[in-house]
Homo-oligomer: A and B are copies of this chain.
Amino acid sequence: MTDPIEFWFDFGSGYAYFAQLEIARIERETGCDVLWRPFMLGTAFKVTGAQGLSSTPMKGDYARRDWQRLAAMKGVSFAPPASHPVTALAPSRIFYGLEERDRAMANRFAASCFKHYYGEGLDITTDDVLLRCLEDAGAPAEALSFGQDERIKALLKSRSEEALAKGVFGSPYFLWRGEPFWGADRIAMLIDWVATHRA
């Protein structure tokens, strides 16, 4: 049993969408479990002084073009809702609420959120879309209430603080035994690194 790979991401991050498409491959090729870790990227931005890609001059235009190019290469669609990027508090909280009971169910929920948001342009901060994601994951509709649960709110907050403490300043961001890999384009390096350092 090797150490798990932590996969830190914000649901509102376009590059996180592409990274999560590769999670099954990462697990297969490394033999490590991947621990999904949603967090609020805005917390890190307050420290680095960065802003969201979409609203950064020039970089935002590049990212929109790059996302479409990546989508075409991977044969998926990339069509987030007009409200993109949303502040994904509700789905992140629901994830952690589910994870306490059933990690696999929580992972399915997160993957469904990505699929509906980026693949179908549905706003995952609205109750009806979240209910659909819960249904996809085989989770009970009551889990929707995790979005307003004070204990779960505090849990998400502590996860965002954990991310910051670990130096996570972007999304997606992978960590394995403390070694950091930032960006969907660092997945090949992550896989190589685990293969050469796991012994």
User: Which A residues are closer than 8 A to B by beta carbons?
Assistant: 44, 47-51, 56-59, 61-62, 65-66, 69, 73, 167-170, 180, 182-183, 185-186, 189
| Complex CA–CA separation, A33 to B168 (angstroms) | 38
Report yes or no: B49 in contact with A56, Cβ–Cβ below 8 A: yes
Report yes or no: A61 in contact with B167, Cβ–Cβ below 8 A: yes
Q: A44-B58, A49-B51 are in contact. List 4 more A-B contacts (CB 8 A).
A: A47-B58, A48-B58, A48-B59, A66-B182
Report yes or no: A169 in contact with B48, Cβ–Cβ below 8 A: no
**Chain copies in the assembled complex:** 2
| Complex CA–CA separation, A69 to B185 (angstroms) | 15
| Complex CA–CA separation, A58 to B170 (angstroms) | 10
- The chain B residue sitting closest to A65, CB to CB, is B180
Report yes or no: B182 in contact with A185, Cβ–Cβ below 8 A: no
Tell me the smallest distance from the CB of A122 to a CB of chain B, in Å: 29
**Quick one: given A185-B183, A185-B185, are A56 and B62 in contact (CB under 8 Å)?**
no
**Quick one: given A49-B51, A51-B49, A65-B180, are A59 and B185 in contact (CB under 8 Å)?**
no
